[in-house]
Amino acid sequence: MSNIDMIEAAADRLKGHVRETPLLSSPFLDEIAGRRVLVKPECLQHTGSFKFRGAWSAISALDDAARNRGVIAYSSGNHAQGVAYAAAQHGISSVIVMPSDAPKLKIENTRALGGEVILYDRATESREDIGEALATERGLTLIRPYDEPQVIAGQGTTGLELARQALELDVTEGDVLVCCGGGGLTSGIALALEHHAPGLRARPCEPEGFDDVKRSLQVGAIQSNNASSGNICDAILTPQPGLITFPILQRLCGPGLAVSEQEALHAVALAFLRLKIVLEPGGAVSLASALFRKDQIEGDTVIVVASGGNVDPQIFEQALEFLT
């Protein structure tokens, strides 16, 4: 089970390898939100998302023998790039199992970052079968994207930084909005805040129609989404909260927030205009919640974790239309 000691140990292992992201702000965003907005841009993290933190944490926590045999992950997105790059930086091999219809750029990026990409046909093959055969054959360790204590610990280092940075600005109370898929980042941050900034409360943010975490928190039991795709926030479309993450979310988080695709895109545009950062829609649902769900938020200051920036130029251009 993940706990604060694991997060602090992960922070020690990440030191000098992870990028400490700043807290950004803009008076223009404050005005829209009706309160001060502080944005932690994890899009500026290595590989363009917070996922590098969890990948580094998990790989660096392995014993030498296991680490030297290499790691494996199933992902076509940010987790793939985080694992591939963290493995390469450790000097070990990584296998990333991706669907053959994944965007070409993501496949190329994952390869260029040092990952061995194995493609499978979604229609006729099972990625788990392929992955298990490879893992057994080569002794690879599977790095799960969120339901894995050392991954949660790594994501939680975001919360350690954030708690310290907020305190430096005398912010000790308020909501911390976090983009939420399976809950690895949100649960890690919630654990860090519990110990280092107990007046700050993590709140998961999701796309409408894929708000499994919000509904699970309301009901008090794990709920699933009806669909698994078909939303522009592809980075955070997960079927349901994790078995490890959900109890943490339930114990520590405030109510979830959900925004529309258009609101997520609008937030991408405002982050471009006012913060000069590049967000993907799934990495902007937290900012969208701060800007467009202000009646559901408490306090004079809201903190926003903007989780990733791996967005296709075409989608970005769609967002920029909000500015013309």
What whole-number distance in Å separates Cα of residue 45 and Cα of residue 58?
Answer: 17
Q: Which of 6, 37, 41, 256 binds a copy of itself (CB under 8 A)?
A: 41
Q: Which of 27, 91, 136, 226 binds a copy of itself (CB under 8 A)?
A: 27
By beta-carbon proximity to a copy of itself, the closer residue of 6 and 162 is 162
Element (H, E) at 184: helix 184-196
- Count of chain residues binding a copy of itself (CB under 8 A): 30
Whether residue 240 contacts residue 180, with contact meaning beta carbons closer than 8 Å, is answered with no
By beta-carbon proximity to a copy of itself, the closer residue of 48 and 149 is 48
By beta-carbon proximity to a copy of itself, the closer residue of 38 and 190 is 38
Asked whether position 50 contacts a copy of itself by CB under 8 A, the answer is no
Asked whether position 167 contacts a copy of itself by CB under 8 A, the answer is no
Q: Which of 107, 113, 213, 287 binds a copy of itself (CB under 8 A)?
A: 113
Which range, of 7-15, 22-30, 66-74, 246-254, touches a copy of itself by CB under 8 A?
22-30
Give the tokens for residue 169. Answer: 């600005």
Strands 71-74 and 94-99: parallel
Strand partners, 24: 39
Kindly state the DSSP code that residue 275 receives in the 8-state scheme.
I
Is 186 in a helix, a strand, or coil?
Answer: helix
The CB-of-7 to a copy of itself minimum distance in angstroms stands at 22
Asked whether position 317 contacts a copy of itself by CB under 8 A, the answer is yes
Q: Which of 314, 9, 260 is nearest to 157 (CA)?
A: 9
Which range, of 57-65, 192-200, 295-303, 309-317, touches a copy of itself by CB under 8 A?
309-317
What whole-number distance in Å separates Cα of residue 264 and Cα of residue 235?
Answer: 12
Asked whether position 324 contacts a copy of itself by CB under 8 A, the answer is yes
What whole-number distance in Å separates Cα of residue 132 and Cα of residue 138?
Answer: 10
Radius of gyration of the chain from Cα atoms? Answer: 18
Q: Which of 237, 294, 234 is nearest to 265 (CA)?
A: 234
Which range, of 43-51, 118-126, 176-184, 191-199, touches a copy of itself by CB under 8 A?
43-51
Asked whether position 99 contacts a copy of itself by CB under 8 A, the answer is no
Asked whether position 77 contacts a copy of itself by CB under 8 A, the answer is no
Give the tokens for residue 72. Answer: 């494996």
Provide the CB-side half-sphere exposure for 106 (13 A, CA).
Answer: 25
What whole-number distance in Å separates Cα of residue 47 and Cα of residue 103?
Answer: 16
Asked whether position 15 contacts a copy of itself by CB under 8 A, the answer is no
The CB-of-253 to a copy of itself minimum distance in angstroms stands at 27
End-to-end Cα distance, the chain: 49
The CB-of-261 to a copy of itself minimum distance in angstroms stands at 19
Question: Footprint of a copy of itself on this chain (CB under 8 A)?
Answer: 19-22, 24, 27-28, 41, 43-44, 48, 85, 112-113, 269, 272-273, 275-279, 309, 313-314, 316-317, 320, 323-324
